[in-house]
Amino acid sequence: MLELRQVSKVYGRGAAEVNALRDVSLEVDAGSMVAVMGPSGSGKSTLLTIAGSLEEPTSGQVLVAGQDLAGMSRNDKARLRRQSIGYVFQDFNLLPGLTAAENVALPLELDGITARRAREAGLSALDALGLADRASSYPDQLSGGERQRVAIARAVVGERHLLLADEPSGALDSANGEAVLRMIRAACKQGVAAVVVTHDAQLASWADRVVFIRDGRIVDQTAPAPGPESLLGQER
C-alpha cells in the first residue's frame, strides 16, 4: 500500500544543511500497522509528511497504492490525498466553524460527493466511533478525547487506504489513548494500512511492526510477533 524507496530529505544548504531523512526504505502492507519510533528530531514527522505527499523527497521514490508520487501532477496528488490518505495530527486540525459531522464529511464534499451523501458517510463514521450524539457539536464543545475521535473519523471516512498519524494519542489520558489505538487497529482490520509515528513505546506496541529511526535513518525493527502463549504459558 505504501512504499518508500531510498528516500532522503535535505533541508537548507551548505553549513545550514540538515539531513532529515537518509536512504529510508519502508513498506507497509494493506491491513497492517507500522509504528515509527524515535526521539524528537529523528526525522519521523518528515517521513510522515513525505509519505502523505505533503512534502517532496530530495531523492528516492514514494509509492502509494502502486502509484509513484513523482510522476503525478499537483491535481492528481491532491485527489490522492482527499480520496486515499487519512491524516491524524497531534493538534487534530478540526475546523472550528464546522460541526463534528461537517468536519468528517468535508473531505468527501471537497471530492465532489453530494452534500447529503457526504453527511451520511460522516454520520456513520461518527456512529462507528461512538460519537453519534455529538455529531452536531462544534469542536470547542467537545472534550479532547472526543475531538481526537472526530479527527480519526475524518481520517477513515470514505474509501481510504492509508492512515498516517503523528502522535495520535498525544495529549490524551491513557483510557482515551487506548480507545484511539483500538480505532486505528479496527481500521487496519478493514484493510487500511496505517503508519503511526511516536516516541511512546506503549503506543508503538499496538503496531504489527515497530521501526526505529535515529538521525534520519532506520536503524532497527522488531521481529514478527510470536503468539501470546509465550507470555501466558510460563510458570513463575
Cell of 210: 515497530
d(CA 113, CA 125): 16
CA–CA distance, 185 with 59 (Å, rounded to integer): 32
Residue among 202, 213, 216, 218 that touches another protein (CB under 8 A): 202
Strands 33-37 and 193-198: parallel
Annotate each residue in 52-81 with x if it binds another protein (CB under 8 A) or - if it does not, as one string: ------------------------------
CB neighbours of residue 31 within 10 Å: 15
The residue within the footprint of another protein, chosen from 1, 26, 37, 108 (CB under 8 A), is: 37
Q: Which is nearer to another protein, 72 or 179 (by Cβ)?
A: 179
Tell me the CA distances in angstroms from 173 to 143, 145, 176, 177, 180, one per residue in order.
Answer: 12, 8, 6, 6, 11
Q: Is 212 in the site for another protein (CB under 8 A)?
A: yes
Count, residues in the chain: 236
HSE (side-chain half, CA atoms, 13 Å) at 64: 30
Of 93, 115, 130, 199, the one binding another protein (CB under 8 A) is 199
Scanning 47-55, 59-67, 85-93, 207-215 for contacts with another protein by CB under 8 A, the matching segment is 207-215
Is 220 near another protein (CB under 8 A)?
yes
Site string for another protein, 158-197 (x = CB under 8 A): ----------------x---x---x--x------------
Cell 496528488 sits at which residue? 77
Rounded Cα distance between 148 and 221, Å, is 28
Q: Is 18 in the site for another protein (CB under 8 A)?
A: no
Q: In the complex, what is the shortest distance from the CB of residue 206 to another protein, in angstroms, rounded to a whole number?
A: 5
Of the candidate spans 12-20, 123-131, 137-145, 198-206, the one that interacts with another protein by CB under 8 A turns out to be 198-206
Shortest Å, Cβ 40 to another protein: 10
Which residues, 6 or more positions from 134, have their beta carbon under 8 angstroms from its beta carbon?
A: 100, 126, 142, 146, 150
Which residues bind to another protein, rule: CB under 8 A? Answer: 37, 39, 174, 178, 182, 185, 199, 201-202, 204-207, 210, 212, 214, 219-223, 225-226, 228, 230-236
